[in-house]
Structure 1
């Protein structure tokens, strides 16, 4: 998908059995977040409030299922936080905690020679294959399951698009094989697995833009995230990917110092109201918004703002 601003993301239309449940994501209090996920007839899976939420309240936070920094950015290899100038390049972690929690997949990655894979993806401006590489390392290390992202909605790839992914897949698998990682450890790494994971990453990856510092109000955070131009990498989440789109959203995802996402209320929200975020730059004109949403996410936006021509 195209990379959009942090006023962003995700629509889900895949049909699942009817469900309604709570997620135990971290919040500012030990109580569960005030949300439930349910299946709707109009937009499929959606997130709803279970109590009134005040403007600027933190609804919940979420850690990424998988993330990866952009090449050339001085970012922690684990949480994408900025590295200090004194941080050694051979240990690209912001803290001992990040180093320890990432040791498994990082050790796997360090066994392989990634020059061919990195050069191929870098020369073509490809970012999402690096997330697939990270997830593959996590699976090999036992830090994640091979079906970690299966719950997420996949993009639809044409046969031509799939054929273009053949070489990057071969380079990825060869890097592991040449590192003498046993066949039993990479049995999951088939071309079909690669395509399936990439299809989910394509429409569910968030571009992480850190605003940094301390902000007193939500407006300042929103403005800072747009003006900072501080994109440090990409990440895929589970719960934040369940939020549907609206060009006049009632919630917004922000990142302060690392890839831990914070879902904040943009206005007062009633109990039972659906929580929605904006996948693109909300300041664009209607036709531009609709075109971006159709090209990037495959749907025609019929939110109230678009229907009224705003």
Structure 2
């Protein structure tokens, strides 16, 4: 890894080119082949696996590939987030659990769209209510930070036993330079102090070390998706505009497992969409052949070439040399996961 990186790469063991399909990667997924109407919301024991597999290649490292032909417009699979958090400016207008928009807002500090979402939130919500987050939240909002809120929620989920502290270790971390680390250390101290002031037992928060915080945040930075559900009204559009001004942009952010393994292309063959909540749907943009690499676009593909290159280089650690970018030039090795044809495992926008 390049100089200045804090964390070493952590991933699956296996020979290059080998097929990797651990059961945990496909948990929380369902499939469909004729559009959104046939996609079940939850995976059942008898549900067929997605028409894809994860493999390691010499050119791009880890990637997602079609295991059979996929037709244009097919929903390849859906995915529920490992962790999600609403945008701070929309807490009373977006479900605290699934990020579904409310019909008219809520008077409560935290809005839930259903009793089911409230019940599913009971574990981490209990601790989020008990602890005073004012210093941590104010710092993040003032600095325009969104990903530390995901770390906060993940920490509460770990405390309640809903997830393991190493749940995100399989994901690729970003490169952390010293100036970034210094800022993150300040966030960590505010988070840790919030737990300590709540008189949490040391054994309960023993996982909450600086190394854990930096490791989780390094993975969230390049694997979190900005969730943008379909707006249903004029008020929804106003909320989106407001959250964009406040650097939240979208209803919230979420981290997924399998979608995080999709490589990038400026002319992708798949895209990810959200209809009413944080459950992501991966859809084919054109006919896809068996064995073809499934790719999404990490950025706004309508931007000009210079803007795309700049964001991909500084935000995701690689130079794009796909056909849209012009003649092939071997990319500069600025991280441990670059490729010759604009492929990488970074699947989110970087922190502002």
Same fold (TM > 0.5): yes
Q: Is the Cα contact below 8 Å between 1:13 and 1:44 reproduced in 2?
A: no
1:132-166 Cα distance to aligned partner (Å, 9 max, x none):
00100000011111001100000111122111222
Q: Which residue of 2 aligns with 1:243?
A: 262
Q: Would you say how many aligned residue pairs link Structure 1 and Structure 2?
A: 286
Q: Which residue of 2 aligns with 1:269?
A: 288
Structure 1 residue 17 displacement after superposition: 2.4
Q: Is the Cα contact below 8 Å between 2:95 and 2:110 reproduced in 1?
A: no
Pick aligned residue for 2:50 from 33, 40, 46: 33
TM-score in terms of structure 1 length: 0.87
Pick aligned residue for 1:17 from 14, 18, 27: 14
SS of the residue 1:201 aligns to: helix
Are residue 175 (structure 1) and residue 194 (structure 2) matched?
yes
Greater relative CO (CA pairs within 8 A, separation 6+): 1
Q: Which residue of 2 aligns with 1:283?
A: 302
Q: Which residue of 2 aligns with 1:9?
A: none
Q: Which residue of 1 aligns with 2:341?
A: none
Structure 1 residue 86 displacement after superposition: 6.5
Q: Which residue of 1 aligns with 2:323?
A: 304
Give structure 1 stretches of 5+ with no counterpart. 1-11, 214-224
Please tell me the root mean square deviation across aligned C-alpha atoms, in Å: 2.2
| Distance change >3 Å, CA 180–CA 13, structure 1 → 2 | closer
SS of the residue 1:197 aligns to: helix
Q: Distance in 1 between matches of 2:175 and 2:63?
A: 21
Give every structure 1 segment of 4 or more consecutive aligned residues whose post-TM-superposition deviation is greater than 4 Å.
12-16
Q: Is the Cα contact below 8 Å between 1:15 and 1:44 reproduced in 2?
A: no
Q: Which residue of 1 aligns with 2:75?
A: 58
Q: Which residue of 2 aligns with 1:114?
A: 133
Give structure 2 stretches of 5+ with no counterpart. 1-8, 32-38, 41-46, 233-239, 329-352
Are residue 205 (structure 1) and residue 224 (structure 2) matched?
yes
Matches within 5 A, 1:207-222: 207-212=226-231
TM-score in terms of structure 2 length: 0.77
Structure 1 residue 85 displacement after superposition: 2.8
Are residue 48 (structure 1) and residue 65 (structure 2) matched?
yes
